[in-house]
Amino acid sequence: MGFEVPSHRYSTVERIGDDGEVKRRAFVAGSGAIAAAAVLPNQQGPRVGASEVAVFRARLADLYAVDHQSGGIPAKARAAQLEQEITRVLNSSVYMSRVGRDLHTMLRELACHRAWFGYDGGPPEQARAACMEATTAAQLIDEPLLQVRALNTLSLLSADTGRMWEAASAVENAYSLARRAGAGATVHLVISLREASAATHAGDSASAGRALSRAVSYQGRTDTDTDVPRWARFAGPVEVDYATAAYYTGKGQLTRAVPFLRSAVAGLGGGYTRNTAWYRARLAQTLFDTNEVEEACHEMMGVLDACNGVSSEKLRRRLHAFERIAVRVNLPAARDTVERIRETTRGGDR
């Protein structure tokens, strides 16, 4: 406006030109470094990438084989070790966000593993706590099929401990989540088997029969499944036979249960050592209850021959249940079987 401005009041105005572009690029680069720091939480730690994730994933898959062949007790110990290692990597290593998501998902899967291993290896309260943790963890990452897996195990635990309303509720929620996820026939087959088990434990044979009919229907459609979760791949005719045997046992029709138990035992492959021992021990007890004592003892001897190296609290309970009924029978086969059970279980839980 014509006034003279004293020199000390002049503001320094930088031209926006090449210098400004350089500084803007430096700012953008600095912003990228901040973002990277958020993704890579500890810049001083070891870098973890896809190859390390693949190793962890392979070890996670191996837990299925350990469980099937050796039982829930050793599988639970391995799962705990793997969980500690993955947690340590997440806390102290450098990794991209995709790697972090993969590692977090594996921790959720391990929680589901621990729940199932606890169902087999005990104690029940730890298994139940792991179930609740697995359910919550799956909700946090919005993985409905992992929730279904955890709810299936919760249903088994709840039925075993007399929480029938909880077992039924777990099944109902599992069905809802499976529908939401667009799950195939195999996942629905597993849920229907859990539904049948819950109803059988509750003494509701009508509901158990309806659940078994659904299971048979789903089993007939499993060949159309294109993407079956690893945890559901065990389900098939063997499990339907075993559930049917439990249904007839619950109704007091033991003679009708026996052929289904025989079929289940015969149908299990060589990799299912623990389940074969479970099912064959149930067959032995059912034969005993139908007064086929000699054959029952023969079956139990077969269980004892095959279960060396299997650490399973559930199997140990079945062995002792057979011991309690066989000890009352004054037959050489029964006495030999009782002695063999005591020798087998003396060294610790099996």
DSSP codes, 152-212: HHHHHHHHHTT-HHHHHHHHHHHHHHHHHHT--HHHHHHHHHHHHHHHHHTT-HHHHHHHH
User: Mean per-residue pLDDT for 169-195?
Assistant: 95
Peptide bond into 123 cis (omega under 30): yes
* Same domain (yes/no): 137, 149: no
* Same domain (yes/no): 132, 154: no
- For residue 44, the model assigns a pLDDT of 62
* Same domain (yes/no): 238, 206: yes
* Same domain (yes/no): 74, 161: no
**Tally of domains in the chain:** 3
Q: How far apart are CA 43 and CA 94, in angstroms?
A: 6
- For residue 15, the model assigns a pLDDT of 40
Q: Which residue is listed with tokens 């309806």?
A: 210
* Same domain (yes/no): 239, 334: no
User: Mean per-residue pLDDT for 168-184?
Assistant: 94
Is residue 268 a part of any domain in this protein? no
Find the range with the poorest average confidence among 33-47, 212-226, 248-262.
33-47
- For residue 43, the model assigns a pLDDT of 52
Phi, psi at 7, each rounded to 5°: -65, -30
Q: How far apart are CA 350 and CA 307, in angstroms?
A: 8
- For residue 20, the model assigns a pLDDT of 42
Q: How far apart are CA 133 and CA 125, in angstroms?
A: 12
* Same domain (yes/no): 148, 250: yes
Full residue range of the structural domain in which residue 326 is found: 274-350
* Same domain (yes/no): 240, 192: yes
Is residue 123 a part of any domain in this protein? yes
Find the range with the poorest average confidence among 8-12, 71-75, 156-160, 213-217.
8-12
Find the range with the poorest average confidence among 40-44, 55-59, 194-198, 214-218.
40-44
Please report which helix (H) or strand (E) contains residue 46, including its range: none
Report the 10 Å Cβ neighbour count for 275: 25
Listed residue (140, 162, 312, 150) closest to 229, CA to CA: 150
Tens of pLDDT, residue by residue over 242-287, are 999 999 999 999 999 999 999 999 988 767 888 888 899 999 999 9
- For residue 184, the model assigns a pLDDT of 93
Report the 10 Å Cβ neighbour count for 134: 26
Q: Positive or negative CA dihedral for 299, 304, 309, 311?
A: positive
**Strand pairing partners for 94?**
47
Report the 10 Å Cβ neighbour count for 304: 22
Convert 316-343 to b/e letters by CB count within 10 Å (16 or more is b): bebbeebbeebeeeeeebbeebbebbee
193 and 219 Cβ atoms separated by less than 8 Å: no
pTM for the full model? 0.80
Average pLDDT, the chain: 83
Q: How far apart are CA 263 and CA 173, in angstroms?
A: 31
Q: How far apart are CA 14 and CA 35, in angstroms?
A: 28
pLDDT at 227 over 90: no
Q: How far apart are CA 206 and CA 192, in angstroms?
A: 14
Is residue 221 a part of any domain in this protein? yes
321 and 278 Cβ atoms separated by less than 8 Å: no
Q: How far apart are CA 55 and CA 104, in angstroms?
A: 15
Higher pLDDT pick, 294 / 138: 294
* Cα dist from 19 to 16, 33, 163, whole Å: 7, 21, 73
Q: How far apart are CA 82 and CA 55, in angstroms?
A: 11
Structural tokens at position 297: 């003892």
pLDDT at 310 over 80: no
Is residue 171 a part of any domain in this protein? yes
pLDDT at 39 over 70: no
Max avg pLDDT among 74-78, 154-158, 223-227: 154-158
Is residue 185 a part of any domain in this protein? yes
| Domain boundary pick from 141, 170, 188 | 141
pLDDT band for 2, please (50, 70, 90 cuts).
low
* Same domain (yes/no): 130, 201: no
Higher pLDDT pick, 317 / 48: 317
| Domain boundary pick from 97, 125, 141 | 141
Is residue 335 a part of any domain in this protein? yes
* Same domain (yes/no): 96, 86: yes
Over pLDDT 90: what percentage of the chain?
46
Q: Which residue is listed with tokens 């089993």?
A: 219
* Same domain (yes/no): 300, 211: no
Tens of pLDDT, residue by residue over 57-89, are 999 989 888 888 888 888 888 988 999 999 998
Is residue 12 a part of any domain in this protein? no
Structural tokens at position 331: 């037959």
- For residue 344, the model assigns a pLDDT of 85
Is residue 40 a part of any domain in this protein? no
| Domain boundary pick from 206, 229, 256 | 256
